[in-house]
Amino acid sequence: MIDSIKKMFSSSESGGYNDGSKPDISREKSTQLYEKAKQYFPGGVNSPVRAFKSVHGAPLFIEKGDGCRIWDADGNEFIDFCCSWGPLILGHNHEKVRESVTEALQNGLSFGAPTVLENELAELILQNNRYLEKIRFVSSGTEAVMSAIRLARGYTKKDKIIKFEGCYHGHSDSLLVKAGSGLVTFGETSSAGVPKSFADETIVIPLNDKDAIEDAFGQFKDQVAAVIIEGIPANNGLLIQEQEYVEYLRKITTENNALLIFDEVITGFRLGFEGAAAYYDIQPDIITYGKIIGGGMPVGAYGASSDIMSYISPDGGVYQAGTLSGNPIAMAAGIAQLTVLKNGVYKSLNSKTKDFVEALRRFVAAKNYKVKIFSVGSIFWIAFTDQEQIRAASDIDPASMEKYKVMHRELLNRGIYFGPSGYEVGFVSSAHTKTDLEKTKRAIFESLEVVFR
């Protein structure tokens, strides 16, 4: 009996166990750092998903990144598909971004006053984006969306906002809401500290449901300032919307004198230089962007037509300000990153992502695994489902996250870093080489074998 138990847990020739799993990597230093962090921060982290509550083990404390790789405090090396949640489209520590930041640092960190770098980055964006005429820099994607909502209300002189289940728009009060039980419902606060009166101005409806949005405009006629949707919803799985549906959103908002806001914090400059607006060839009224415009540094922006943007202070009565808006270091990083992107990255980046995803699809099909890989541009999502399409949050089976939890652990043990939640998408960067992607494919194949064994 004892011998059979020993055999069950003995290492295989590949360095793992005979069920195909790999021994866990050392997390000794990360665990020590996490225990210490709990003394300083709620839950030991400064953003909730970092706590690794949805996956195995203590969170990894990252020490450095270079190219497509990161290293943790225990010296473990990983091929990174989180890419700081998307903005590191050129990979970590890109030479041109680093040099641009280093040069800007010589002149100081912050002035709270205009700099030429703001002009340069704005010109780079506006001259290469058909969907914007003016922009305003802020310090985060959350701030960009918060400001866009205020602008929409100020411009339309209406108060209510329609958002969709499964779309995340940062943690501002009026958007940190969830749906109730009805088809069309006022939002219910999904966080303590959000007043009910704030949530009551937000109407939450399902994605991919024309009847729901029609009912919303019917019930709240002449009260809706804007409809906000992620360019392609990618914060709760990858919920790719059909062209016809997005065109319908454009049509119904126009008919009801409401604005259409594309939250492109994830998709902006990731799908292409003009993001989801160009992907669907649809003109939103307001577009928001995140830290990809700053090479991953704390920055965001919102933009629109000159007419709509004229409502922003000091030209108009919609107030929005920020000492760090247009921070010179972030501007310098953004100029470097977007210059590289403008000069041609997307074709090769999207092509290698497509090859990578198709290889995964062939494998799971051959094995008849209940797995689908959804992808757009250089974004992908591995879902444990047999549904051919997932376009709404309600289509995601919460029980499937247990399988992701096993896969995540196996991937870490094979040197592959995915986001610590099965609802998060993955990102390929220009720094991922063919060799890196081949290694990753093998690791995913082996990890799925463990999941389904």
For CA atoms 445, 76, 291, 150, the dihedral sign is: positive
Query: In this structure, what DSSP letter does residue 308 have?
Result: H
Q: Residue 306: in which H helix or E strand, if any?
A: helix 306-309
Whether 319 is catalytic = no
Residue pair 124/342 in contact (Cβ under 8 Å)? The answer is: yes
Phi–psi pair at 302, nearest 5 degrees: -135, 150
Phi–psi pair at 47, nearest 5 degrees: -160, 130
CA distances from 50 to 47, 64, 74 (A): 6, 16, 17
Largest CA-CA distance found in the chain, in angstroms, rounded: 81
Residue pair 428/378 in contact (Cβ under 8 Å)? The answer is: yes
- Show the tokens assigned to 436: 């890196």
Whether 168 is catalytic = yes
Q: Rounded distance, CA 398 to CA 422, Å?
A: 9
Rounded to the nearest 10 degrees, how much is the dihedral formed by the CA atoms of 274, 360, 425, 280?
30
Whether 311 is catalytic = no
CA distances from 390 to 75, 200, 396, 399, 424 (A): 38, 28, 7, 16, 14
- Which residues make beta-bridge pairs with 261? 228, 286
- Show the tokens assigned to 52: 């690794």
Residue pair 101/328 in contact (Cβ under 8 Å)? The answer is: no
Cis omega before residue 314 (within 30°)? yes
Residue pair 206/167 in contact (Cβ under 8 Å)? The answer is: no
Q: What angle do CA 298, 293, 291 make, to 5 degrees?
A: 35
72, 80, 209, 263: the catalytic one is 263
Cβ within 8 Å of residue 423, ≥6 positions away? 235, 236, 237, 396, 401
- Show the tokens assigned to 88: 């590191």
Q: Rounded distance, CA 87 to CA 294, Å?
A: 8
131, 155, 168, 302: the catalytic one is 168
- Which residues make beta-bridge pairs with 379? 376, 427
291, 352, 372, 403: the catalytic one is 291
Positions marked catalytic: 168, 263, 291
